[in-house]
Structure formats: C-alpha cells, structure tokens
Amino acid sequence: MSTSFSYFRDGRPSEPPTFSIVELDRDPHPLFRRMRLMTPFLRRDDGSYIAIRSGDVERLYADTRTRQMETERLRSQGIHSGYLYDIFRHTMLYANGTTHRQRRAPLSRAFAFRLIAELRPTIRARAHELLDAVEARSEMDLVDEYAALIPAHIIGEILGLRENDITQFTRWVYSISRAVSFSFTREQVPEMEAAARELTKYVEALLADRRATPRLDFLSSYVLGVDEAAKLSPIEVLSQIVTVIIAGSDTTRAALAIMVHLLLQHREQWEAVCTGNMGLITGAVSESLRYEPSVGSTPRFTLADIEIAGYLIPAGSVLSLSTLSAMRDPALYCEPDRFNIRRADHPRRHIAFGGGSHRCLGEALARAELEEALAALAERLPTMQLAGEPLRIFGHADMRRISGMRVGWTRP
C-alpha cells in the first residue's frame, strides 16, 4: 500500500491511498473497514478510484458529475469492435440520458413487481423439479445443478426460449459475463468474442421468429412495441434482449450459491429458515445480498472534479461505487460484520441493487428467484450441509466470481 496519503496539504486536496487489485481482492472487508475511518476514497493501482462510505456511495449514484461507464473500459483493454463491443455499445447497462431511457423503457413493464409475483408459482415449481432430479442421490453440486439452472430456466420462461437451448446459452453467458466484471485476460478475449457472436446470432433468430410468427409471450409483445415506436435500431433491440439473458443469469446464480453458503456457515440461522417462516426466508435473502453481494460495485465516469472530505477525484476518472464496502458501513447498519437474517435495519431500497436511474431492472425477479429457491431447499433438504470445500468468493468489484460447492443431505 502507498503511504503517501494525508489530509489537506498546503490547502490542496489530498490523493487517496493506493492499493493494488491483488490486495483488494485478497480480503476486501477488513481493508475497507479500516480505510472507511480514514478516507472516503481509495485508489487502485490501475488508476481508478473507489468510493467506500455508504453515504457517499448513495449520493454519487445520482450525482450529475458522474455518468454510467460506456465503452471506456473495453477500449482500455484494446477491444474497439466486434460482437462483444457491439453488445456493450448498444446495451442500456452502459448508456446514459435519453439513450438509456429509450432502451430501458420497453423492458420495464415485463419486470414489474405485479407480473413477477404472478411468476412465483412457476419459479417454485422449477425449483422442486430440480430437487426431484437430485434428492435420491443425497449429494449435488449446488452451483451447477441448482443455483445456475433456476435463473437460466426462468429467463427462458420469460423470453419463451426452447428448453433444449438453456444449457448452451448459459455457457455463452458465463463466458461473456467475464467482460461485464472485467475479470479477463487478453488471451480470453477470443473465447468471449466467440460466445458473444453465438449469443447474438441466437437472439437474432429468436427476434426474426417472433416477427414472422407472433405468440402470446413477452418477446412477441416486446418486438411489436419497439418496432411500432421506431426509437431503437435493430442492434439496440437485439442488445437489450442479450442484456436481459446475461444479467438475469449470472448475478442470481452467484447470489443464490452465496446465500446457501452463508446459511450453512451459520447453522442456527439455516435451521430457523427450515421452519418455513417466509419472513425469515425474505430476511435471509436481504441479509445475504448485504453481507456478501454478488456484485461488488458499480463503475462510473467522472465528468468533473469531485472533492469529498479533503480528497479529490479528478474529472475523467473511473470511479467505482462500492456497495461491498457501503453495506458493511456502521453508518448504515448496526453490527455490520454480523450475519443476521432477523436484521430490522435494511433500508427500504436495498443498495445491493444499485441506485439512480440505473437501479437494477430485475430486482423483483431476483428476489422472487432467491426466495422461492431457498424455500424449496429448506422444505426439501433441511439436513443439508457442506460435502466438501466451502464456497469461495473472488473479487472486490463489479460482478464477483464464485467456486463450485458440493452439498449433501441425509434422506428421511
């Protein structure tokens, strides 16, 4: 760590302390806890900055001196064209202002809370079907055989995808998601580009099918709506569906695995969930999203200098808003380093889902999937425990990565 940081020097703002990405990834919670007492910002050795205090993170989501990252980080990795670049360039995730609103609006209706509530019985049935397939074995890979399949099947259900296509498109998604988390090397770019090409062509065929033969499903109504409005280009229409598939699969997969891992590490809380109390299941979802989120931060781009508490972030910088740090801040939560599914101090708007105009569109769907998946596990496998190494969680920013996790149970 650099030791060159201080408060004001000669009346000028100070430079935040610098840490390597390796240091930040190694064990982020103790580092963030220590540094929140000293500074509102950290600097990474790649030149980007991190906001680590809860109040600053929440305010900066809506601060007009920042905007959502667009294609800057891909270009910094030498990616200036191709299928992967086109997805990033034309998605609502990395757009701002009117462009962002026009791309997001046609999807908002499909992810409204009321419509997602109607989807819960389908999510519940899918969870039980997956458990039917493994229960007699008394052991499974929780990530690959359960956590990954629930969001993939439900996105398939929403979009009207063929059941046989789900395994293949999830492979493409997990490859492309490395670009979203910026956890890739130059050597992995060809594989990611190939996955982006295949997923793009797959979605192109889906959209062409719905235009030729409309059905009573979301994808048909989406295509009809955007074609009539004529505000989005063909590549924008396609990129939003690709975005829904990517965002609706990988983050929930990780969040579900992390939640089960945390509950099994806190056995009395797992047993409490197994009583069937839906309030505790809802609490377990909110608490696991806080304690170990699957998305560690949101990157922003600064349009002007930002000075807080004597520290300066220059205009033209990458500034990550660290929800990972903010949700362990004692200014926001009581006993923040304690995992407690009975916690009563969650804010009304959970910042695990971001903030401002880019707040996660799929919040209601993610909560429904996590709650129904956990309820099914608690009902069917109350004796579940780890059957190998605990889950490992990697990364301090963007989309975090997880290892596999095997679980076992005794049959009645």
Give the integer Cα–Cα distance in Å for 340 and 342. Answer: 5
SS3 assignment, position 86: helix
Measured between alpha carbons, how far is 6 from 16 in angstroms, rounded to an integer? Answer: 8
Q: How far apart are CA 8 and CA 11, in angstroms?
A: 6
- Nearest alpha carbon to residue 296 among 335, 331, 254: 254
β 297-302/139-141 pair status: unpaired
Q: Which residues are paired to 320 by β-bridges?
A: 50, 299
What is the CA angle 382-122-408, rounded to 5? 25
* Residue 354: its H or E element: none
In whole angstroms, how far apart are CA 325 and each of 15, 54, 58, 157, 299? Answer: 20, 7, 12, 35, 14
- Please report the pLDDT score of residue 73 as a whole number: 81
d(CA 281, CA 286): 9
Q: Are 296 and 396 in contact (CB under 8 A)?
A: yes
* Whether the predicted model's global pTM rises above the 0.85 cut: yes
* Residues counted in the chain: 412
* Cα→Cα distances 360→92, 237, 251, Å: 11, 19, 11
Q: In sequence order, what are the residues at sequence separation of 6 or more whose Cβ sits closer than 8 angstroms to the Cβ of residue 369?
A: 123, 150, 151, 154, 252, 256
For residues 189, 190, 194, 197, the Cα torsion angle rounded to the nearest 10 degrees is 60
Contact between residue 332 and residue 58 where contact means Cβ atoms under 8 Å apart: no
The architecture of the domain spanning 18-408 is Orthogonal Bundle (1.10)
Question: Token pair 């209706």 is at which residue?
Answer: 109
Helix, strand or coil for residue 239? helix
> Taking a C-beta distance cutoff of 8 angstroms, is the pair 400, 394 a contact?
yes
Strand partners, 407: 140, 386
DSSP codes of every residue in 278-307: HHHHHHHHHHHHHHS-SB-EEEEEESS-EE
Query: For 384, phi and psi rounded to 5 degrees?
Result: -60, 140
Cβ atoms of residues 303 and 65 within 8 Å: yes
Q: 219: closest CA among 238, 235, 232, 199?
A: 238
Q: What is the layout of strands, in order, in the sheet containing 297-302? A: 18-19, 41-44, 49-51, 318-322, 297-302, 66-68
Q: What are phi and psi of 334, to 5 degrees?
A: -80, 135
Report the C-alpha gap between 295 and 278 in whole angstroms: 25
Closest CA to 396 of 320, 335, 340, 336: 320
Residue type, 130: L
Phi, psi of 401 (to 5 degrees): -115, 155
pLDDT computed for residue 182 by the predictor: 67
Q: What residues have CB less than 8 Å from 294, skipping those under 6 apart?
A: 251, 252, 254, 255, 258, 399, 400, 402
pLDDT tens for the chain, residues 1 to 412: 433 344 445 566 788 999 999 999 999 999 999 999 999 999 999 999 999 999 999 999 999 999 998 888 888 888 899 999 999 999 999 999 999 999 999 988 778 777 888 899 999 999 999 999 999 999 999 999 999 999 999 988 888 888 888 888 888 888 888 777 666 777 888 999 999 999 999 999 999 999 999 988 888 989 999 999 999 999 999 999 988 888 878 889 999 999 999 999 999 999 999 998 999 999 999 999 999 999 999 999 999 999 999 999 999 999 999 999 999 999 999 999 999 999 999 999 999 999 999 999 989 999 999 999 999 999 999 999 999 999 999 999 988 999 999 999 998 6
Structure tokens belonging to residue 49: 């900055």
Question: What is the C-alpha separation between 204 and 238, in angstroms, rounded?
Answer: 7
Find tokens 């004529």 and name the residue.
230
